[in-house]
Structure 1
Amino acid sequence: MTAPHELPARSRLVHDSLRAVGISGDIVVLPDAAHTAPLAAAALGIEVGAIANSLVFWSDGEPLLVMTSGAHRVDTGALAERLGRERIQRATPEQVRDATGQAIGGVAPTGHPSPLRTIIDEDLAAFDEIWAAGGTPHTVFPLTFDELVRLTGGTIAKVD
């Protein structure tokens, strides 16, 4: 385990956010970057579906964080309809960085400059333990579905 003070600055923010809500999972530093769910799953030796991808979209003039199972793709049209949104589209790398303070491939569900409206893929509930990015492409951490919902204040929905 890497001590919190040895983590990258972005991951220390995530660590502190986890502890603030009582989540005890430790951030793990991977030897190689895991920019995608399949890479993260392979590095951890778990099913790709247990990776909680943090995808940032732009919708109705604001960022929208969608925590989806690594086994899914987000159907933005169907999700926009379910949420009563006009449109949902992928955020640009600049929009992602502005909204989260983190780079694509390492976006955590927490540790952002301000809270983001968050949607959580209902299919993540099938896993006893899920893994999310820890603020950089080299860091991840474990948590439960219920902890993810509590951490983000997210809305559970079908996303694919």
Structure 2
Amino acid sequence: MTEQNLAKPPVELVRRALLAAGAEDTVLTLDQQVPTAEDAARILGCELAAIANSLIFEMDGEPLLILASGAARVDTSLVATLLGSSKIRRASPDFVSFHTGQEIGGVAPLGHPQPIRSILDESLAAHPRIWAGAGDHLSMFSSSYSELLRITGAEPLRVR
């Protein structure tokens, strides 16, 4: 993270990353926090399955971001096997903050200090509009599945 980026709020970094990727800035700042997928779906008026949770895992000492449907639990054994790793585990809050510059519950799939290997849950492709966190507990942005693949460089994968 550069000194200039340290002074920028995470949501501003997400907005800049969206624009730098050639995507539209669709970030919404909500009136109340949305720390869970259920909260986000209720406030946005969409299906729980159309919320993309940005979950950070640790795989072989490196961060792995899995954008999973809010209606799904990630099968870490399956994902580890598909990625050729012996094990992945949920990252600690400090690990998440260090690698994303964001806090758990508001992690975005982009706008991080350094690129993070990312996986996009294939089940999200069933939804024309997907909502993802935008860097804090009050912000979300919308995108399509194909656009999320493009702007995040994520690999499509079955996660459950």
Q: Could you tell me the TM-score, scaled by structure 1's length?
A: 0.94
The alpha carbon displacement at 1:25 in A equals 3.9
The whole-number CA distance in structure 2 between the counterparts of 1:152 and 1:137 is 20
2:128 alignment partner in structure 1: 128
The whole-number CA distance in structure 2 between the counterparts of 1:123 and 1:26 is 22
CA RMSD of aligned residues (A): 0.9
The whole-number CA distance in structure 1 between the counterparts of 2:135 and 2:53 is 12
The whole-number CA distance in structure 2 between the counterparts of 1:143 and 1:24 is 9
SS in 2 for 1:80: helix
SS in 1 for 2:131: strand
2:47 alignment partner in structure 1: 47
Amino acid at match of 2:29: V
Contact 1:25 1:143 in 2 (8 A): no
1:105 alignment partner in structure 2: 105
Amino acid at match of 1:82: L
SS in 2 for 1:52: strand
The alpha carbon displacement at 1:62 in A equals 0.4
Q: How many residues align?
A: 153
2:78 alignment partner in structure 1: 78
Structure 1: unaligned runs, 5 residues or longer: 1-7
1:152 alignment partner in structure 2: 152
2:4 alignment partner in structure 1: none
The whole-number CA distance in structure 2 between the counterparts of 1:26 and 1:125 is 19
Give 4+ residue runs of structure 1 displaced > 3 Å after superposition. none
Amino acid at match of 1:113: P
The alpha carbon displacement at 1:152 in A equals 1.0
Q: Could you tell me the TM-score, scaled by structure 2's length?
A: 0.94
The alpha carbon displacement at 1:28 in A equals 0.5
1:69 alignment partner in structure 2: 69
CA separation of 1:144/1:25 partners in 2, compared to 1, >3 Å: closer, same or farther?
farther
The alpha carbon displacement at 1:22 in A equals 1.5
SS in 2 for 1:120: strand
Amino acid at match of 1:109: P
The whole-number CA distance in structure 2 between the counterparts of 1:132 and 1:78 is 23
The whole-number CA distance in structure 1 between the counterparts of 2:151 and 2:35 is 22
SS in 1 for 2:109: coil
CA offset digits 1:109-130 (Å, max 9, x no partner): 0000000000110001000000
1:3 alignment partner in structure 2: none
